Every structure is written in structure tokens, then in C-alpha cells.
Amino acid sequence: MSIQVFGLPVSRGVAIGRAVLLASSRFDVTHHFIDPADVGHEVARLRQARDEVSAELMALKREVPEEAHAELVALLDVHLMMLHDPMLTDAIVNWIIQRHYNAEWAVASQLEVLSRQFDDMGDEYLRERKADVEQVAERLIKVLVRHRKGLTAPDAVVSSAGRDQSSEEPLVLVANDIAPADMLQFKRSLFTGFVTDVGGRTSHTAIVARSMDIPAVVGAREASRLVRQDDWVVIDGDAGILIVNPPPMVLEEYRFRQQQSELERARLKRLRNTPSVTLDGQAVELLANIELPSDAPAVLEAGAVGVGLFRSEFLFMNRGGHLPDEQEQYEAYRAVVTTLNGLPVTIRTVDVGADKPLDRLSVQELRHEHSLNPALGLRAIRWSLSEPDMFLQQLRAILRAAAHGRVRVLIPMVAHLQEAQQVLALIERARSSLVADGLAFGPVELGVMIEIPAAVLILPSLLRHFDFISIGTNDLIQYALAIDRADEAVSHLYDPWHPAVLRLIAQAIEQANAMGRGVSVCGEMAGDPAFTELLLAMGLRSFSMHPAQIGAIKQRILRADARALGAALPAVLEADNPQEVGGALLRSGAGRVLRAGLA
């Protein structure tokens, strides 16, 4: 039976493939693909774990007191029988061999299949046996995790280039939620799209989905419960719809849309070497957002003129609690700088907290993790300043990388002038320590992210200490409207068209331009064609986005008249409903016929 599940569209396009269910959060398991050459090793790990669990159960049987109830021994016998039942063990081996899942993921996947089968049973006694299967699976997973301690999952991730994709069915990931660290593992895998039960349009999971340039839907509520392993599914990333087991006619329609989307991407790629200039001759800088050094070649491929946001926190994630030291960070930053070959690279200092936690937690962070509202707690620059030794390491690494090219340092979530002064003092301390150590370093431009309304209101004071600003619209909207952007329960209130949001952005751009400071937008609005003309009208001449979005934004810029747009801006900012009236005003401009961008 075909069903439709509605959610929030966060990454455009169409994905068609077999559903892969991420194990539920009841067990703490890692999820990654193994190399085909390691299948035998992973199967051996599973069998070793099975033998250990079997030995544990046998030992428990021997230790059962004679006066204990006979049902206890019978229960252990049931668990032993399940452990060696081909329906469990052989099926887990198949997940490893056919899908190249790591053993823990394979166990959890088969448990999901069996759990659904037990739930569908009419006999109450048989339904209750589901708990026994869960207990056996939990024992297996615990042994597997114990054996894997000390290994890091990213080492085992397989890129799509590492497997013969022609022999594989396309895969679509379905989960209750996906942590940013897990998204990082899946970034180079074979998934053509994903769906989650929770999340909002600008949750970090959604942002990484766009960085992967694959269709995605979040906030789909019951998707992970309604979809079964290996169901054929369609993700409509434009409408925010998941279609499970689509009828043939619907499937063909979406395959046609996939082809059209690929043709449109090919057309946009032809703009790669076209200068980004408006109809009235205004040059516009198009920069790229990246997460890892391996993303740098895509920046050049897309025709970007630099990196406007290097999210350095992804170097700190998914490492089993071991943070990168100065040398490792230096090599990562240097790799990006040298790949860009003279183009600017803007490195944001580590921005953790809220929806981007680290594996290693200090006492302070443990309090933060359990705080009522992590988005308002110890995160971003607040966390860095609370860990001065770690922060000093990162600043030293960035300064050393600046010896190889043009580097800009971006400080996230500044709200107080005192924070800016502390950062400047630490940068001077980092420079002095590098001189003392005899290590080469280069000059850097210093910037601050505008993500909090308070920062907009004190911007003239901040700009006396910094060379540029970058507006992070995702958090600015969140804090201006008091909306948790990762919470699907209030996601309908997250409104980038809110008059207060637009006025804050316009004010920040105007003040930076008036003081002769650089200003860019690196949040999701920069890569959304619906806002291109509006941001141009505000005086923005530097956009930073995922490389895959650059072609579409450049096309809008080439068809826009910046002066005409600027003349129409005041009426838009004064409107009660800017989205409703802004399109017509900006299109009519000064008599120019502009592309319908804001309607």
C-alpha cells in the first residue's frame, strides 16, 4: 500500500531508492559502511560476539541457585536458542555482506525488522517475546561496542567512489533524527536522500543535508515508524513529502522530475566562469561554506571566489572524545588554504553546543548538556572562552595556516564587547607564543558573526575592533523570534520574512557599509534564491553558501538591477507583510523588468 508522509522541505530535488532505517535510539550504536574487503572481518566480529554472549548465558545458567524458579532457566534457554536462530544471526550476516553495514548497525537493523514482525502477531504471548529478542540484541551490541572501544567510526566510512554504484540500488536514509556527527559519516556514502521524524528547516542536520546536495525532508513525525526496511520510497525535497511504495505512474513522474533537475543543474554549471555582476554593473562576491578540508576542491569547481565559512567544529566531532591538537588543526587549515591558492579562507572558530555537541564533555559542559535551554547556554565563543587552552591551540593553528595564504578568522555568537576584547587578547597571546616558539605565522583579518540581536544594536562598537562581519541568519532569526530552529513543534513560527528579522539584517548591512567594513551573509538566506534580490537591495555584495547553490544564486544576480532594487527597499521594510508585498515592489524597482524572485 502506498502512503504519503508530510514534513518540512530542507534540501531540494527528488530522491528515489530503498529505505535504510537508522537504528532507533534505544541502543547506542555507531552507523557506518565498511569497506567490502573488511566484510569477512566484520562477520568474524559478529560471530565472536555471539560466542561471548552464548558463554555469558551458559555461565548464568550454571550460577542459577537450585531453589530458583525453573522459568528462569527456561528463559535463559530461550535466549540461547534465539541467539543461534538463523532468523537472527544469518539475517544479521546478510546485512553485513549485502549492505556493508558495520556489525552493530546490522544487529540493530535486524532487530527493527523482527520487532515489527512481533508487533504484527495476533497472539499476545508471541508478541511479548519481542522483549526477549531485544535483550539478546542488546547483549550482542554491548559486546561489539566493548570490542570496538578505541576505534573511531570515520576511519571505516566508505565513500561513494569506493563502491561500484552501478551494482547498488540507490539508498534513502530514514531515521528519527540524525546527529551532525553521523551526518558527517554519511556525507561521502551512497545515500541519495534522507528523511527524519524531527528537526526544522535550519537545524544543523538540515544544513549538512544541503551541504551534501541531496534531497531531504525533516519533521516528518512518524516516518521511521511507517517505513519498513527496504521499502521503495520517494523523497520530494521541494514539497516536503515522503512517498512510501509509490504506484508505477507516480514513480515514473518522479523519475522524469529527477531528469529535469539534472538538466537544470547542468545548465547552471555553465555559469561557473561567468563573473557575478548585476545588470547595472555591481560586482557581487560569491563565497562557499564548507565543513571539512576535503570539501575545498568543490569550492573551486563551483566557481566560488573563496571560502566564506569553514565550520571548524566538524574537525572536533565524532572522535571518541579525543579533540584534534594544534598540529592536526594546522594541517587541516593549511590544506584548505593551499587548495584555494590565494583565494580568501574564512575559518570560524569552533562553534559547539545546542545541536552540535562534542563527544568529550567537561564538568561545565555536562551542566550545559542538561540545561533547560542549550541554545541559550555555554556554546560557540562562550564555550571557547571557557576553555582557553583549547581556544589558544586553535588560534595558533589558524595563525600558522595564514602563513600559506589569505586567512580570515570569524568569531561566532558574540553579544558583549567584553567577549570581543577577550578574543583579541587571546589572539595577541597566540602570536606572542608563536614568536617565542619560532614558528611561522601570517596576518589575519578578524571578523565577528552577527547572530544575536544585541550584536546588531552594538555593532558600531564591535566594528571598531573587527575588519568585517558575517551575518548568520539562522541563529539571528532564532534569537530574534525566540524560536528553537531544531524543534519541529514550533518550526512554523520560524519566519525569515518577519519584519523584525529583515530590519535587523538591513541595519547590520547598512552600518557595516557606512563604516567601510566588509559584510557577508553566510546563513541559509544567502543560498536561498527567494532572498537574493532582497539582500542585494539591502546593499549586500558578498554571499556565502554551499557550493552547490552558487549557480542558482549567480543566475539571479545576473538578472538583477541593484540600484532599482535599492530604491524599492524602504517600502518593503516598512510593510507589515514583506513577503506579500516585497516581490512586486522589488520587481518593479525603477522600471526594470526583473525576474520574479520574491513572489
Residue 590: CB atoms within 10 A of its CB come to: 12
Superfamily name and number for 3-24+157-266 = Phosphohistidine domain (3.50.30.10)
In the numeric block, the cell 566508505 is attached to 158
Residue 355 pLDDT greater than 70, yes or no? no
Q: Give the pLDDT band of residue 360 (cuts 50, 70, 90).
A: very low
| Mean pLDDT for the stretch of residues 189-208 | 77
- For residue 234, report the phi and psi dihedrals to the nearest 5 degrees: -120, 130
pLDDT digits (tens, 9 = 90+) for 293-339: 999 999 999 999 999 999 998 888 766 567 899 999 999 999 999 99
Residue 112 pLDDT greater than 50, yes or no? yes
**Residue 348 in marked binding region:** yes
How far is residue 464's CA from residue 321's CA, in Å, rounded to a whole number? 38
**Residue 138 in marked binding region:** no
Q: To 10 degrees, the CA torsion angle through 448, 450, 454, 456?
A: 100
pLDDT digits (tens, 9 = 90+) for 470-528: 999 999 999 999 988 767 678 778 899 999 999 999 999 999 999 999 999 998 899 99
What percent of the chain is modeled with pLDDT above 90? 50
> What is the per-residue pLDDT for 590?
39
> What is the per-residue pLDDT for 465?
94
Query: Where exactly are the structural domains of the chain?
Result: 3-24+157-266, 36-155, 271-562
Question: How many Cα neighbours within 13 Å face the side chain of 383?
Answer: 29
How far is residue 216's CA from residue 436's CA, in Å, rounded to a whole number? 50
Beta strand residue intervals within 533-581, DSSP E: 542-545
In the chain, what's the furthest Cα-to-Cα distance? 95
Q: Is the dihedral of CA 220, 222, 225, 226 positive or negative?
A: negative
Q: Do domains 36-155 and 271-562 have the same CATH topology?
A: no
pLDDT digits (tens, 9 = 90+) for 169-180: 788 989 887 765
> What is the per-residue pLDDT for 161?
33
How far is residue 452's CA from residue 479's CA, in Å, rounded to a whole number? 6
Q: Give the pLDDT band of residue 94 (cuts 50, 70, 90).
A: very high
| Mean pLDDT for the stretch of residues 447-471 | 96
**Residue 485 in marked binding region:** yes
What is this structure's pTM?
0.71
Residue 221 pLDDT greater than 90, yes or no? no
In the numeric block, the cell 527493527 is attached to 112
How far is residue 128's CA from residue 324's CA, in Å, rounded to a whole number? 47
Please give the positions annotated as active site.
204, 522
> What is the per-residue pLDDT for 490?
80
CA 88 to chain centre: 33
Q: Give the pLDDT band of residue 365 (cuts 50, 70, 90).
A: very low
CA 528 to chain centre: 17
| Mean pLDDT for the stretch of residues 527-539 | 94
Region of poorest pLDDT, from 20-24, 53-57, 258-262 = 20-24
Determine the straight-line distance between the first and last CA of the chain, rounded to whole angstroms.
Answer: 37
**pLDDT averaged over the chain?**
84
Identify the CATH class of 36-155.
mainly alpha
Instruction: Tell me the fold of 271-562.
Output: TIM Barrel (3.20.20)
Residue 162 pLDDT greater than 50, yes or no? no
| Mean pLDDT for the stretch of residues 417-429 | 96
> What is the per-residue pLDDT for 550?
95
> What is the per-residue pLDDT for 4?
93
**Residue 267 in marked binding region:** no
H or E element that contains 347 = strand 345-348
